[in-house]
Structure 1
């Protein structure tokens, strides 16, 4: 058993963690515990509280994050291949993000895509890609503060970058959704200052849920750095803290 907490700077909704960052943190704990093989699949059962001690306990091949008597999240090895959206160029991504309309953002201070986080978040602005319905893209150049001592962006922040663009493949203003499950595979960590492209595609929607895939590409070479599949669940904003 180990104890961890999420710093409030990494919030999504004001009082809970950004889903991608929380999932990446759980994946890291699972890898450190030695029960994870290959890509991680993380399910968020409850909003992950901020600045609160949580216990990570291993049970067989799974790990669980506990807050008192509640299981907040679970992590296990993923099964099956994660589809990766076809890449777009830096120029295409630039045009897409120029078309991003963040007005009415349900969580404007979100660490990854919040419009009210100048200089303190990832600043992702995923907008519609010309000629590709239900696909959004943006560029992302990691800031120096987001990198570790080795100059590389840590995995949990890469998970964050893969998270929110998927939410913008639907209309989060009209029907807000929160991340429910995320599976990710990281092949290489980008260094600070390197221009990357994030692409997200909507796979399908079913009543309250939406399934999408995201990918992170090296903006210079087009190399796939990481990819993810995510399930989003519609919420009533009045019930989200």
Structure 2
């Protein structure tokens, strides 16, 4: 089937927000649980071909493989929650709040870009007393589809470190959606740096609903950019 990422759902300029496109591919190819591997930046407003097979699906741009999708039954471990007031306080330390001036590597990102009036505008900041953890609030609007929830699970993991000094991009993501988010109600997003080897880091992210129930959880692999990109 043909797949096209609308320009609105960008991460880095000119390419899709990683979590959003992972959510799209998961919904189309493995809705019960998916691991999505991004092999190159998914372009925006470009026809892509999603080919499904018995073991995995492949997203192609011509002959180039952009991403692969495989079904999984694993549930990523949940990050310990924090109270909403702690998440609100963490937002005050969001390192990317200043957009270009503050050094946000992708200030127009759909999920966490401060320059995006029509984005999610997540502001994950460090959690006091929990080194390597970040948290923020998220109040779902009318958009509560799988793609948006995967997007929410994506960016906070990147802010468990300092992407201004060490920019990285999502290259693999596994998520399990456990309950639908509640539109108009405040949710808490908590992320954790779970380890790093060389240029590759593992991040965990969880979303908790207004009653403290676990809505979704994810494990992600991030790869640091070098001078020429990946």
TM tier relative to shorter chain: over 0.9
Counterpart in the other structure of 1:184? 175
Please say if 1:56 is aligned against 2:47. no
- SS in structure 2 at match of 1:111: coil
Scaled by the length of structure 1, the TM-score of the pair is 0.90
Of the three residues 133, 136, 139, the one matched with 2:134 is: 136
Show CA shifts across 1:75-132 (max 9, x none): 00125341110001100100001111211010000000001012x1001000000111
Where does the alignment leave 5 or more consecutive residues of structure 1 unmatched? 148-152
Alignment of 1:87-126 (within 5 A): 87-102=81-96, 103-118=102-117, 120-126=118-124
State the Cα deviation string for residues 57-85 of structure 1 (Å, max 9, x = none): 01222001010001100000125341110
1:163 aligned to 2:154? yes
Note if 1:206 corresponds to 2:201. Answer: no
Q: Structure 2 regions of 5+ residues with no counterpart? A: 97-101
Q: 1:73 aligns with which of 53, 67, 72?
A: 67
1:42 matched to 2:36? The reply is: yes
1:171-217 Cα offsets, whole Å, 9 max, x none, are: 10101000000000001121321110000000001110110100000
User: 2:12, 2:75 → 1: CA distance?
Assistant: 30
TM-score (norm 2): 0.94
Matched-pair contact (CA < 8 Å) for 1:158–1:189: no
Matched residue, 1:150: none
Q: Paired residues, what number?
A: 225
Moved over 3 A (4+): 236-240
